[in-house]
Amino acid sequence: MPWYRQVYDWLEHRLQLEGPVMEAMVHPVPRKTASWWYVFGSASFVLLILQVVTGILLALVYAPSAAHAWDSLEVLNHQLPLGWFLRAMHGWGSNFMVAVVLIHMCQVFLFGGHKYPREFTWVLGVCMLLMTLGMAFTGQVLRFDQDAYWGLGIGASIAGRVPFVGGQLVHLMLGGPMINGATLTRFFALHVFVIPGALLAFTGLHLWMVVKLGINEWPMPGRIVRRETYMKEYHDLTHTDGLAFVPLAVWKDLFFSAAILLAVAACAAYFGPFGPKGAPDPTIINTVPKPDFFFLWLYTVLSYLPPNLETPFLLIVPPIAIAFLIAIPFVAGIGEKSWWRRPVAVFAVFFIAVCWGAFTQLGTYTPWSPQMHAWSGAPVPEKLLVNRTPLERQGAVVLQQKQCRNCHELGGMGGQRGPALDDVAGHMTEDQLYRQVLQGGGNMPAYGAALSPAETTALVKFLTTLKVNYAPAASDASRQVADADTGTAATGAR
């Protein structure tokens, strides 16, 4: 007997693992379940392992202290060979993992996989989704750059809105009243010990139940789940029309997981690591912090909500959403599994997916933040300055100097907080422009106190030239009547 065989036997004699493992491997699965639709769960698991491995390697270099975190990422990016690639793999792995977990969840839901007897598998799955998102958030914090800094600030202000205990919550989260060194060590502990530990334990349980209860069969319209008969029906199905999991079903999982890993590597190689963006220095205010991809939708929703609804939204909607997800298998634990017979479920999934996609897409534009550098960095389009009088030209300077461009576009450049001004004179008269500039309104500040009369005049003179040349300027009939009464020619300012 060769030596490795002896070692194996010696171990097996004591561990006794061969039996259960073999049983789990060759357990029969329904033939139609060996489908490409069933590969997302295993892919999530493989991605989790990838994250653990790359995470451990990163932790060898990363310094979880406020003073050194950012620098240690710079070291990884620039000084260690392939350190950047490691960071990129971990970052892209995280993105892929969130995406694949979400797809897995939709697939399970649409295929009725959460129904009897797999309710608890689903509940664990919901917890694992939350932990995955928690990993994504805490991971973003560990990057400790400007985005992380402001992201944390936003997270803390959300926590601070909880009634009664808000203050203490913030203290707990940040390790003090503000973001400091203790904040980072806290998030490091969460990201490296607490959440991954729990996530791995939950994953183990989740898998155990998958093996014990069997993989969900392909749903057939009309095949109803009943608590009394389901177990027997499933058993019969797998034994009359089943396949051994290994090797007849597993190869698709392996193939897909390999493809996902390659995709992660390709993204990492091509797009590189995320950040770190600028150093986390609160004195640098000219930044447009943005949350990572999965939280962009939240950013959009919050910017659309009227301010007085933000707090209720933040504090009420997430708990309701989570409770709702957990309640699904208990409310709809039996009955039809097929999507052909579950229109509400299908509609809900698509509705949520479309909303999420639209909000995320909107979030990538940031039309809600002013562009802090537009006033000095966005040139006034040359064609708006052709044949202008010196006064109108100075008006354009006022527009820049008073930072109107930070909120208003000209020629497609500038902020989008307010409407573009390219043809504002087509629908606003000179009087209305004076009023708008001096009194503001909507989300626009009033400039009455910040502009001298001469500056105001110059500015409005310039604004009145902003229209497409074939269109007439906006006019105000009452002004002509008033002028006729008093005998003044409507010459405007002097």
Footprint on residues 347-386 left by another protein (CB under 8 A): 373-380, 382, 385
Q: Which of 437, 457, 464, 474 binds ligand HEC (CB under 6 A)?
A: 437
> Among another protein, ligand HEC, none, what binds residue 82 when CB lies within 5 to 8 Å by partner kind?
another protein
- Residue 478 as a binder of another protein (CB under 8 A): the answer is yes
Q: Which of 220, 263, 354, 454 binds another protein (CB under 8 A)?
A: 454
**Measured distance CA(379)–CA(22) in Å, rounded:** 70
In the complex with ligand HEC, which residue's Cβ is closer, 168 or 376? 376
- Residue 464 as a binder of ligand HEC (CB under 6 A): the answer is no
- Residue 447 as a binder of ligand HEC (CB under 6 A): the answer is yes
Q: Which residue from 174, 156, 150, 130 is spatially nearest to 294, judged by alpha carbons?
A: 130
For another protein, what does the binding mask look like between residues 280 and 319, x meaning CB under 8 A?
Answer: -x--x-x---------------------------------
- Residue 475 as a binder of another protein (CB under 8 A): the answer is no
Q: Which of 107, 338, 401, 416 binds another protein (CB under 8 A)?
A: 401
In the complex with another protein, which residue's Cβ is closer, 126 or 428? 428
In the complex with another protein, which residue's Cβ is closer, 124 or 398? 398
For another protein, what does the binding mask look like between residues 58 and 87, x meaning CB under 8 A?
Answer: ----------------x--xx--xx-xx--
- Residue 273 as a binder of another protein (CB under 8 A): the answer is yes
Q: Which stretch binds another protein (CB under 8 A): 306-314, 349-357, 415-423, 472-480?
A: 472-480
Q: Which stretch binds another protein (CB under 8 A): 193-201, 278-286, 311-319, 351-359?
A: 278-286
In the complex with ligand HEC, which residue's Cβ is closer, 449 or 477? 449
- Residue 494 as a binder of another protein (CB under 8 A): the answer is yes
Of 408-427, binders to ligand HEC (CB under 6 A) are 408, 417-419, 421, 424
> Among another protein, ligand HEC, none, what binds residue 27 when CB lies within 5 to 8 Å by partner kind?
none
Q: Which stretch binds another protein (CB under 8 A): 12-20, 149-157, 199-207, 391-399?
A: 391-399
Of 20-39, binders to ligand HEC (CB under 6 A) are none
> Among another protein, ligand HEC, none, what binds residue 391 when CB lies within 5 to 8 Å by partner kind?
another protein
Shortest distance (Å) from residue 456 CB to ligand HEC: 9
Residue with smallest beta-carbon separation from ligand HEC = 442
Q: Which stretch binds another protein (CB under 8 A): 136-144, 204-212, 235-243, 263-271?
A: 263-271
**Measured distance CA(58)–CA(186) in Å, rounded:** 17
**Measured distance CA(456)–CA(398) in Å, rounded:** 8
In the complex with another protein, which residue's Cβ is closer, 286 or 469? 286
Q: Which of 122, 459, 461, 474 binds ligand HEC (CB under 6 A)?
A: 459
Shortest distance (Å) from residue 420 CB to another protein: 16
Q: Which of 461, 464, 466, 467 binds another protein (CB under 8 A)?
A: 461
What secondary structure, in 3-state letters, does the chain show? CCHHHHHHHHHHHHHCCHHHHHHHHHCEEEHHHCCHHHHHHHHHHHHHHHHHHHHHHHHHHCCCCCCCHHHHHHHHHHCCCCHHHHHHHHHHHHHHHHHHHHHHHHHHHHCCCCCCCCHHHHHHHHHHHHHHHHHHHHHHHHCCCHHHHHHHHHHHHHHHCCCCCHHHHHHHHHCCCCCCHHHHHHHHHHHHHHHHHHHHHHHHHHHHHHHHHCCCCCCCCCCCECCCCHHHHHHHHHHHCEEEHHHHHHHHHHHHHHHHHHHHHHHHHHHCCCCCCCCCCCCCCCCCCCCCHHHHHHHHHHHHCCHHHHHHHHHHHHHHHHHHHHHHHHHCCCECCCHHHCHHHHHHHHHHHHHHHHHHHHHCCCCCCCCCCHHHHCCCCHHHHCCCCHHHHHHHHHHHHCCHHHCCCECCECCCCCCCCCCHHHCCCHHHHHHHHHHCECCECCCCCCCCHHHHHHHHHHHHCCCCCCCCCCCCHHHHHHHHHHCCCCCCCC
Q: Are 413 and 384 in contact (CB under 8 A)?
A: no
> Among another protein, ligand HEC, none, what binds residue 271 when CB lies within 5 to 8 Å by partner kind?
another protein
For ligand HEC, what does the binding mask look like between residues 370 and 409, x meaning CB under 6 A?
Answer: x-----x-----------xxx--x---x-xxxxxx-xxx-
Alpha-carbon separation of residue 299 from 295, 311, 414, 444 (angstroms): 7, 13, 21, 21
Number of residues that bind another protein (CB under 8 A): 78
List the end-to-end C-alpha distance of the chain, in Å, as a whole number: 108
CA angle 450, 451, 457 (to 5 degrees): 160
Q: Which of 155, 434, 447, 464 binds another protein (CB under 8 A)?
A: 434
- Residue 438 as a binder of ligand HEC (CB under 6 A): the answer is no
Q: Which residue from 382, 417, 389, 407 is spatially nearest to 493, judged by alpha carbons?
A: 389
Q: Which residue from 298, 408, 415, 416 is spatially nearest to 363, judged by alpha carbons?
A: 298
Residues at the contact surface with ligand HEC, assessed by CB under 6 A = 370, 376, 388-390, 393, 397, 399-404, 406-408, 417-419, 421, 424, 428, 433, 436-437, 441-445, 447, 459, 463
